[in-house]
């Protein structure tokens, strides 16, 4: 049961109000000064209002504009590449606890690729498993290193933009499938707030508050504070689902031409790693019978994932006049983890007895990112010239006792002490990247828009083995480009065609200790969007041919899961369909369908050529509908969703199939005055399913039914 207060509705306040109705249909912020006998309305600073049109909160399920794909910000229909936006409304109505859950109704996304694993947000995009390498926040990398996850709670986010396909020109090192940009909540120049308390499945209690205030009489300074406390468990024994979060932001806009937003957050977590369940006839002889039905819930009290993270950064914009604007984004983030895991290492096929490895990882990691770009705008053209820099560093110690513990098949329990294992590895890894990029977006009077871009990047990977006192480094450079065209027709149809490139410097090494080579990607995409005259919904379709070289995969000969191999080339072709927005006066929602045809066309590993790519289900279908039932019961709305995920191979060897599954979710919402009650159920019918079945390790269960009740108040 979780009790949540939704963000304040869009209505006039006594002192400040959020006004809607810009030319793009997005919400712009206004300041309202009230007195006893009159009110005067004063718009928020122009540069702030313009930014929020493209990257701010969105009322409803359709975002009309985005900064993702074209940093100057354009209507979404002008981006010559597939973009989906999980809006503020969708986040509020579904209330996901993880980013991977927030994007699960988005086409092209296969969420929770590693099952019930709360350490990371994990997902595949267009057939490439890349969740931890695809995450950005406010346009800057938010990627994991080793076991440091830098996990962000959706409660501190305004929206999530999903760009599918390579995005190397604007964002540098980025994997083939695309990117997920999490947009942080920031001051709204409105005096509004919400708070919630609640309780849910597995004894999970939580409370949160989200408040925005104008801080001076001139209306040029505004702040926002978001806080969350959660304490509970998951379906697993000896599990943890705990979080303390404090996020704050401050925007100063002294003139219509200048603004500075400072963003920070602190977060402490204790979460639960994944568990493997051996399967009869695969990991052990089926004649032995079955493991207990609740075996997947059993884990050692030794298991935990504790993290302490935080970030500090800013966004600065200044208009010089004549259409010229300077923008700068910067962030420093760090995380410390203490990760302990007794995990399945092997199973004796004859006896069924299981050998478990005790592993401890302590890690300290940090990210530094800067993005500086000049933007020159005219009535028909937007030209961007930028320079960016990122540095990711981690120092970790791994303690390991491989196969040191045995769990009997006849009585599989974990009620034994686990000794802290000996030191096995101590390394420092550092990745540095610098890039210069150019992008031009030109819109002709006849509705045709052309977008072109070019980047040159330089990057270096340094691995220092502090235990063996050895070091390895590798320097590379890459040039990437993109070209796209859209044609906005008078009847609401917008066809587009694009070619995009990307690259990623693979972080890690082979089992022999050599640094990995970078992967390169390229994609052709053609699509069609439709927005009716009233603009209440968006229909889109896309076909694509996506290829990636030097593909990284875990080396299954390494029991520590810390070494990798590289295949040659993977091709992913497919079709995506999406519908978003207000379907009728009372019904809104999202629909997505994905068809994938993947193939390993070249391979450095014998036997892989011609196989399907891993974690690439051929068919996926998703539907979420939100019905306003106030005509029947005033204040009531009903939401529900269905998702189908086809069977897929777990590895490139194609030895093991993860079965298909269909899941249902439910959300009931009741509002009266400034109060709100939400009942949310994920996996409504408690479907028993596997998110992944991996070669030699067994299967990892997906999340079972979870119920939460939230009660909230706006103020």
Q: Residue 288: pLDDT band by 50, 70, 90 thresholds? A: very high
Coil/strand/helix, residue 177: coil
Question: Of 141, 134, 177, 161, which is closest to residue 69 (Cα–Cα)?
Answer: 161
Give the pLDDT confidence score for residue 374 in this predicted structure: 98
- What domains lie within the chain, and their CATH numbers? 17-714 (2.40.170.20)
Structural contact between residues 181 and 201, judged by C-beta atoms closer than 8 angstroms:
no
Question: Of 313, 305, 307, which is closest to residue 333 (Cα–Cα)?
Answer: 313
Report the 10 Å Cβ neighbour count for 310: 16
d(CA 103, CA 594): 14
Angle at CA of residue 621, ends 620 and 623, nearest 5°: 150
Question: Of 537, 452, 456, 531, which is closest to residue 499 (Cα–Cα)?
Answer: 452
pLDDT at 309 over 90: yes
Q: Residue 148: pLDDT band by 50, 70, 90 thresholds? A: very high
| pLDDT, tens digit, 9 for 90 and up, residues 96-141 | 999 999 999 999 999 999 888 889 999 999 999 887 889 999 999 9
Please name every residue paired with 654 in a beta bridge, in sequence order, or none if there are none. Answer: none
Give the pLDDT confidence score for residue 508 in this predicted structure: 73
Report the 10 Å Cβ neighbour count for 682: 23
Which of 126-135, 144-153, 160-169 has the highest mean predicted lDDT (pLDDT)?
Answer: 160-169
Give the pLDDT confidence score for residue 1 in this predicted structure: 35
Which stretches does DSSP call E strand in 646-704?
A: 648-649, 657-658, 661-672, 675-682, 690-694, 698-701
Q: Residue 513: pLDDT band by 50, 70, 90 thresholds? A: confident
Structural contact between residues 684 and 664, judged by C-beta atoms closer than 8 angstroms:
yes
Question: Of 25, 43, 48, 46, which is closest to residue 33 (Cα–Cα)?
Answer: 43
Q: Is the model more confident about 32 or about 316?
A: 316
Structural contact between residues 333 and 367, judged by C-beta atoms closer than 8 angstroms:
yes
Give the pLDDT confidence score for residue 49 in this predicted structure: 84
How distant, in Å, are the alpha carbons of 11, 63, 85, 105 from that of 580?
A: 24, 9, 9, 11
Q: Dig out the tokens for 228 from the structure.
A: 């969350």
| pLDDT, tens digit, 9 for 90 and up, residues 172-207 | 998 899 999 999 999 988 899 999 999 999 999 999
The rounded percent of the chain whose pLDDT value lies above 70 is 94
Mean pLDDT of 647-659: 93
Structural contact between residues 57 and 27, judged by C-beta atoms closer than 8 angstroms:
yes
- H-run or E-run covering 544: strand 537-549
Q: Dig out the tokens for 482 from the structure.
A: 């993109």
| pLDDT, tens digit, 9 for 90 and up, residues 339-355 | 999 999 999 999 999 99
Mean pLDDT of 467-485: 92
pLDDT at 300 over 50: yes
| pLDDT, tens digit, 9 for 90 and up, residues 23-72 | 233 333 333 333 333 333 345 788 988 888 888 888 999 999 999 999 99
Report the 10 Å Cβ neighbour count for 528: 13
| pLDDT, tens digit, 9 for 90 and up, residues 477-510 | 999 999 999 999 999 999 999 999 999 887 777 8
Give the pLDDT confidence score for residue 340 in this predicted structure: 97
Structural contact between residues 651 and 695, judged by C-beta atoms closer than 8 angstroms:
yes
Q: Residue 453: pLDDT band by 50, 70, 90 thresholds? A: very high
Give the pLDDT confidence score for residue 562 in this predicted structure: 77
pLDDT at 618 over 80: yes
pLDDT at 384 over 80: yes
Structural contact between residues 154 and 180, judged by C-beta atoms closer than 8 angstroms:
no
Q: Dig out the tokens for 237 from the structure.
A: 């024994």
d(CA 611, CA 7): 48
Structural contact between residues 394 and 146, judged by C-beta atoms closer than 8 angstroms:
yes
Give the pLDDT confidence score for residue 382 in this predicted structure: 96
Q: Which residue has the tokens 């468990």?
A: 233
pLDDT at 8 over 50: no
Intra-chain end-to-end CA distance of the chain, in Å: 22
Give the pLDDT confidence score for residue 559 in this predicted structure: 80
Mean pLDDT of 417-422: 97
Burial of residue 490 (CB within 10 Å: 0-12, 13-18, 19+) is exposed
Q: Which of 178-182, 519-523, 605-609 has the lowest mean pLDDT?
A: 605-609
Report the chain's mean pLDDT, rounded to a whole number: 90
pTM for the model stands at 0.91
Non-local CB neighbours of 174 within 8 Å, separated by 6+ positions: 134, 166, 167, 168, 502, 503, 504
DSSP of 83-135, one letter per residue? Answer: EEEE-HHHHHHH--SSHHHHTTTSTTEEE-TTSS-TTS--EEETTEE-GGGSE
Chain-centroid distance, C-alpha 476 = 27
Give the pLDDT confidence score for residue 43 in this predicted structure: 59
Give the pLDDT confidence score for residue 568 in this predicted structure: 83
Pairing assessment for the beta strands 661-672 and 675-682 based on DSSP bridges: antiparallel
Q: Dig out the tokens for 515 from the structure.
A: 């640094």
| DSSP state for residue 51 in the 8-state scheme | H
């Amino acid at each position: 049961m979780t009790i949540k207060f939704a963000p304040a509705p869009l209505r006039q306040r006594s002192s400040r109000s959020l006004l809607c109705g810009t030319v793009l249909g997005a919400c712009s912020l206004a300041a309202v000064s009230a007195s006893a006998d009159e009110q005067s309305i004063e718009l928020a600073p122009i540069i702030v209002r313009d930014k929020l049109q493209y990257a701010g909160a969105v009322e409803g399920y359709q975002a009309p504009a985005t900064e993702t794909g074209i940093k100057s910000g354009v209507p979404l229909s002008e981006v010559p590449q597939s973009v989906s936006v999980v809006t503020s409304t969708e986040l509020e109505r579904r209330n996901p606890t993880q980013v991977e859950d927030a994007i699960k109704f988005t086409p092209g996304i296969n969420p929770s690729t590693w099952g019930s694993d709360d350490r990371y947000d994990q997902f595949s995009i267009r057939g490439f498993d890349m969740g931890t390498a695809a995450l950005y926040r406010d346009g800057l990398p938010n990627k994991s290193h080793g076991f440091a996850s830098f996990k962000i709670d959706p409660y501190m986010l305004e929206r999530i933009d999903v760009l599918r396909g390579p995005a190397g020109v604007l964002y540098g090192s980025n994997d083939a499938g695309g990117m997920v940009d999490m947009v942080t909540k920031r001051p709204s120049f409105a005096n509004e707030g919400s708070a919630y308390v609640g309780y849910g499945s597995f004894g999970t209690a939580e409370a949160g508050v989200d408040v925005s205030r104008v801080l001076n009489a001139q209306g040029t300074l505004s702040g926002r504070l978001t806080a969350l406390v959660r304490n509970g468990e998951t379906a697993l024994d000896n599990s943890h689902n705990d979080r303390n979060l404090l996020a704050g932001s401050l925007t100063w806009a002294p003139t219509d031409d200048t603004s500075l937003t400072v963003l920070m957050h602190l977060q402490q977590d204790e979460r639960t790693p994944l568990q493997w369940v051996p399967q009869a006839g695969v990991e052990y002889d089926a004649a032995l019978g079955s493991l207990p039905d609740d075996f997947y819930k059993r884990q050692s009290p030794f298991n935990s994932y504790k993290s302490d993270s935080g970030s500090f950064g800013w966004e600065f914009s200044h208009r010089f006049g004549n259409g010229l604007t300077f923008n700068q984004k910067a962030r420093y983030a760090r995380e410390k983890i203490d990760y302990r895991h007794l995990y399945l290492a092997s199973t004796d096929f004859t006896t069924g007895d299981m050998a478990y490895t005790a592993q401890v990882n302590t890690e300290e990691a940090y990210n530094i990112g800067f993005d500086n770009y000049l933007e020159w705008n005219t009535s028909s053209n937007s030209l961007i010239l930028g320079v960016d820099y990122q540095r990711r560093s981690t120092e970790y110690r791994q303690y390991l006792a491989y196969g040191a513990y045995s769990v009997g098949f006849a009585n599989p329990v974990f009620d034994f002490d686990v000794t802290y294992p000996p030191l096995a590895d101590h390394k420092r890894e550092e990745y540095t990247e610098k890039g210069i990029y150019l992008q031009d977006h030109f819109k002709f009077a006849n509705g045709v828009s052309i977008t072109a871009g070019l980047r040159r990047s330089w990057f270096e990977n340094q691995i220092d083995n502090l235990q063996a006192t050895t070091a390895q480094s590798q320097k590379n450079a890459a040039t990437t480009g993109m070209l796209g065209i859209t044609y906005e027709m008078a009847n609401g149809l917008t066809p587009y065609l694009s070619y995009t490139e990307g690259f990623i410097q693979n972080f890690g090494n082979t089992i022999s200790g050599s640094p990995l080579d970078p992967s390169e990607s390229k994609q052709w995409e053609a699509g069609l969007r439709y927005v009716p005259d009233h603009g209440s919904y968006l229909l889109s379709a896309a076909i694509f041919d996506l290829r990636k070289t030097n593909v990284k995969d875990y080396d299954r000969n390494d029991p520590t899961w810390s070494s990798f191999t590289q295949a040659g080339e993977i091709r992913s072709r497919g079709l995506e369909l999406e519908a978003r927005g207000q379907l009728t006066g009372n019904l809104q929602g999202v629909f997505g369908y994905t068809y994938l045809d993947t193939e390993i066309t070249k391979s450095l590993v014998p036997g892989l050529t011609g196989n399907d790519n891993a974690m690439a289900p051929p068919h996926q279908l998703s539907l979420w509908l939100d019905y306003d039932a106030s005509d029947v019961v005033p204040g009531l709305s009903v939401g529900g969703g269905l998702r189908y995920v086809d069977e897929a191979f777990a590895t490139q060897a194609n030895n093991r199939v993860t079965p298909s599954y269909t899941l249902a979710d439910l959300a009931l919402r009741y509002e009266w005055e400034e109060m709100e009650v939400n009942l949310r159920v994920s996996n409504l019918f408690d479907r028993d399913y596997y998110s992944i079945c991996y070669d030699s390790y067994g299967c990892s269960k997906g999340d079972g039914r979870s119920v939460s009740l939230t009660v909230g108040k706006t103020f």
